[in-house]
Chains A and B, each alone.
Chain A
Amino acid sequence: MGCHLYLLSIDEGIKGYRDDSLETVKQNQITYDLDLKILSYKELFNWSMDEVVAQIGLNNNCTYCGVFRRQALDRGAIQLGVDKIITGHNADDMAETFLMNLLRGDIFRLPKSTAIITGDDGDNGIATLPRCKPFKYTYEKEIVMYAHYKKLIYFSTECTYSPNAFRGHVRELIKNLEAIRPSAVIDLIHSCEQLDAPNQNQKIPQKQLCQKCNLLSSNKICKACTLLESLNQGRAKQILQIQE
């Protein structure tokens, strides 16, 4: 085929969700005869998601998880020495992301919400690993049907913390929209693709390297390090309180 594939799996440390799905990934490794690398939040950041949620409560969990996962994927990919990261984001995911960014007024993220390749523009000469989403136009339903008929092994349950997540509401909205407008998902993606780029006079965050971890960042300290700092401060406070 001309390219070498690796499986990279990130263990966020969510009991009842990730621990079960990792067993499936190990099965996939055998079935497809691919190298598998598993990295965990615990070993990378010294925080599992269950520990994060215990600390911060049930709000904003996805924010922490998403930011950490991004960095975990980057670090795993660097360790594997690969050229590109491929993720399984499907059409439903893209439509949800676009709608979420719209509802949050996230003008910087909006135009790229449904980009099929991101990170390949070599910002400021800083090398980043491009990410691509080959299933961008594939409906989740198609994927589930394919897996069903081909009898593929996969693990399917919702993340334990997802009922509270913002994405869940958007997903529900889109599913209900589909009932009256079956093309809702692809329409949302097309709308995003035709969006005008934001006003060039607006201050777009400059890409730079994080001063702490040296990975790509929009600020002096990247989001992952910022979140980690606040988590560790919270933990330190608790330890001091126990000691008192």
Chain B
Amino acid sequence: MKVIVDFGGGLDVCFENKKEITLEFEEQQIKMADVILKLKTICNPKKLDFFYTQQLRPGILVLINDADWELEDKEEAQLQHNDRVSFISTLHGG
């Protein structure tokens, strides 16, 4: 199963400056929590704090197919093949 992930608000710096990546999963059923865990493993270790501390960093917006994940079940939301997940950091400025 494939999931497309894009990064906004400067989060691309955690993932080799890529604004969009594709994740492959062997399982047929994937939750958002699985996506986050997978991203945690491929995140640049030096920049991990921007993305994940003990959980997904509060202040990062998550969209599933352009809709706020809080309208679904957040981490428990089930994903489908070719879903687009967006992570947008709202933490910026001085």
> Which A residues have a C-beta under 8 Å from some C-beta of B?
62, 65, 92, 140-141, 143-145, 148-149, 156-159, 161-162, 165, 171-172, 175-176, 178-179
Contact = CB atoms under 8 A, between A and B. Distances in A.
Interface residues of B, number: 19
Nearest to A159: B94
Interface SS, A side: helix
A145 B68 contact: yes
B22 to A, nearest CB: 20
A156 B89 contact: yes
Contacts of A148: 8, 61, 63, 86, 88
A140 B86 CA distance: 17
Interface string B45-69: 0000000000001110101001010
A159 B92 CA distance: 7
A138 B59 CA distance: 15
A194 to B, nearest CB: 26
A162 B92 CA distance: 9
Contacts of B94: 62, 65, 158-159, 161-162, 165
A176 B91 CA distance: 13
Interface of B: 8-10, 13, 57-59, 61, 63, 66, 68, 86, 88-94
A175 B59 contact: yes
A158 B58 contact: no
Closest 10 pairs (CB-CB, A-B): A175-B58, A159-B94, A156-B92, A157-B10, A144-B90, A156-B9, A175-B59, A140-B90, A156-B10, A158-B92
A191 B85 CA distance: 36
A145 B61 contact: yes
B93 A144 contact: no
15 contacts: A140-B59, A140-B90, A143-B90, A144-B9, A144-B90, A148-B86, A149-B66, A156-B10, A156-B89, A156-B92, A157-B13, A158-B91, A158-B92, A162-B93, A175-B57
B78 to A, nearest CB: 22
Given A144-B61, A176-B58, A178-B58, A158 B90 contact: no
